[in-house]
Structure 1
Amino acid sequence: MSDELYADGVGEITITGSIVRIDFVSLSPAERDGNNNPKAVFRQRVIMPVDAFANSMDLMQKALNGLVEAGAIRRIADLPKPPVAENRRDAAAAANVSPNFN
């Protein structure tokens, strides 16, 4: 039997010289932030040489492309774009900018 780890995501990636450290995090069932959302807490770190990291990123990109092709996920670029402002005043309002500084 092998050890397995569930992670909700990557908390941080640190590169020091030729070594990459990837910190995995999970949402805490007990700890909460100021908005009462579960805090992401450190679970485990993977340490690897930078060339192994580059190879793993290539493999992950291929997996991501397969998920997109299968329709399991969509890229942000594929989502509908927000409407474009028709004139300068609308653009300022859309950007939540004061019209006094046109």
Structure 2
Amino acid sequence: MQTSFADGILNIAITGPLIRIDFGTATPTTNAEGKQEVHLTPTQQVVMPLEGFVRSFGLQEQIVRKLIADGVIKVQAPPPASDLVNTSGLTQ
């Protein structure tokens, strides 16, 4: 098995019955104004069937619940209602 490193998921695309997950690395850079920014570079892509994606999501959910129960990560409170955008009147 090959091991690859990624700082995170950059994109998830659905193409028919397949899910394409783009992973990438984050590199700190300084812009022209001298401000620190993070540059995301795609490094690999995983393609899996929809069923495999759904199963992997369930596994990730279980791990997150265990990390919360063990105190490794904390649940963030939802944002105040005033910070949410009301999209009820929007249409496509």
What TM-score range do you get, normalising by the shorter chain?
A: 0.7 to 0.9
Q: Which has the higher helix share?
A: 1
Give the total of aligned pairs: 78
Q: CA deviation at 1:55?
A: 0.3
| Secondary structure at 1:76 match in 2 | coil
Q: CA deviation at 1:3?
A: 2.0
Q: CA deviation at 1:17?
A: 1.4
- One-letter code aligned to 2:63: A
Q: Residue in 2 aligned with 1:37?
A: 37
2:10 is the alignment partner of 1:16: no
Task: Answer 1 or 2: higher relative contact order, Cα 8 Å, separation at least 6.
Answer: 2
- Partner deviation per Cα, 1:25-72 (whole Å, 9 max, x = no partner): 11136xx36443230110110000000000000000000000000000
2:60 is the alignment partner of 1:60: yes
Distance 1:13 1:51, change over 3 A: same
Sequence identity (%) = 31
The normalised TM-score by structure 2 is 0.73
Distance 1:17 1:8, change over 3 A: same
Structure 2: which 5+ residue stretches go unaligned?
83-92
